[in-house]
Amino acid sequence: MTNKKKSITVFAPATVANIACGFDVFGMAIDHIGDEVTIIPNDKNILQIKSISGDNKKLTKDVNENIVAISIQALLDALKSNQGFDIYLKKKMPLSSGLGSSAASSVAGLFAANEFFGKPFTRAELVPFAMEGERIACGTAHADNVAPSLMGGIILCRNVQHVEVISLPVPTQLYAVVIHPHYELKTSDSRKALPKKISIKIASHQWANTAGVVHALHSQDYALLGRCVTDHVAEPFRSKLIPHFDAAKSAALEAGALACSISGSGPSIFALAKGATNAKKIAEAMKSVYKKSKMGADVYISKINNKGVKIIK
Ligand code: HSE
């Protein structure tokens, strides 16, 4: 059953992927920023990107390369439908920021199309379609941005071949502070900086911490969460690509952050905080690092967004 409505507008939130120790495995949704997509059914049996705003003309309208169109096409293929849509994309978050910008676009378009067809797929079932957009955006189809943007909360992506995504409990006083330095870092470049191999010692340390994060979230143990949200695999390599990372991390931890690391593939940096007052202090401390260095940066303070993508019109 298709939705008779003429147009559907959807907002999909930004996300913090990895959450330090869970490379390609953990992700969480945040408030305030994300992308908006409107789709209007057409009778031409084709997808058309009608407009893109907020991208400084960096994104393509070619439907074979635009990730919103690619994700919607993956859904149409699964439904064996040749329905056409006019697509309008409003970027309401920075590109190449480490905040899941491409994922938010894919998720918003996909969710709108799924709504049009009367919701044949659940949010979790939409993950593989949105991952097709990620494959184009950065060369690998990881789910740690698209899954939390679709489902909200904190997500464990246990398997991406046969997608299995698990919602983890979110401690009630948990806040994310995210700073986005005005510097672009492409996920594909940031992935190239990763080591090809890691030692058993480092791997063991890291997987102990991922298990610790799961327990900490279930038991609302903020101190344990802080001890586990560390990254011995990607951060040592990627942090060198992020201006003032070490100073920002030190400032966050000194101001009381439970943990601080790279958001997704960077350059954004996230810190975890217990309570709004701490989160504000941490945000000020991180902001002052970039102010002193005369580098522009935006800071967002957010509870974990438990809702995920939503229809706004
Ligand atoms: N897990 C991915 C990475 C997220 O760190 O490369 C990219 O947004």
Domain extents in the chain? 8-169, 174-303
Q: Which residues pair with 92 in a beta bridge?
A: 34
Q: H/E element holding 128?
A: helix 123-138
Which CATH code, of 3.30.420.40, 1.10.1740.10, 3.40.50.300, 3.30.230.10, is assigned to 8-169? Answer: 3.30.230.10
> Check: CATH 3.40.190.10 for 174-303?
no
Answer whether 265's CB lies under 8 Å from 187's CB: yes
Examine the residue annotation and report whether 134 is marked as an active-site residue of this protein.
yes
Q: Is 187 considered catalytic here?
A: yes
Residue 265, ligand 1, Cβ within 6 A: yes
From CA 131, how far away is CA 288, in angstroms rounded? 36
- pLDDT tens for residues 155-213? 999 987 888 999 999 999 999 999 999 998 998 899 999 999 999 999 999 999 999 99
Measured CA to CA, the distance from residue 36 to residue 42 in angstroms comes to 19
The confidence band for 121, taking pLDDT boundaries of 50, 70 and 90, is very high
Confidence band (pLDDT; 50, 70, 90) for 2?
A: low
Give percent of the chain above pLDDT 90: 90
H or E element at residue 72: helix 67-79
Residue-level pLDDT at 31 = 95
206: Cβ contacts below 8 Å, ≥ 6 apart: 21, 23, 198, 231, 232, 233
Strand extents, DSSP E, 160-303: 164-168, 174-181, 259-262, 269-274, 297-303
Please give the Cα distance from 313 to 305 (Å, whole number).
Answer: 20
CA dist., res. 204 & res. 81, Å (int): 46
Residue 4 above 70 pLDDT? Answer: no
Give the C-alpha separation, 109 to 89, whole Å.
8
pLDDT band, residue 288 (cuts 50/70/90): very high
List the single range of 8-17, 104-113, 134-143, 239-248 with lowest mean pLDDT. 134-143
pLDDT band at 137 (very low <50, low <70, confident <90, very high): confident
Residues 141-147: what's their mean pLDDT?
Answer: 92
Residue 3 has pLDDT above 60, yes or no: no
Tokens of 312: 């706004």
The dihedral through the CA atoms of 23, 24, 28, 29 has a sign that is positive
Q: Taking residues 278-305, report their average pLDDT.
A: 97
Q: Tell me the pLDDT of the chain averaged across its residues.
A: 95
Question: What's residue 136's pLDDT?
Answer: 81
Annotated catalytic residue within 15, 38, 187, 210: 187
pLDDT on residue 161: 80
Average pLDDT, stretch 98-102?
94
Supply the residue whose CA is at minimum distance from atom 8 of ligand 1. Answer: 264
> Do residues 43 and 290 lie in contact, with contact meaning Cβ atoms separated by under 8 Å?
no
CA of 117 from ligand 1 middle (Å) equals: 31
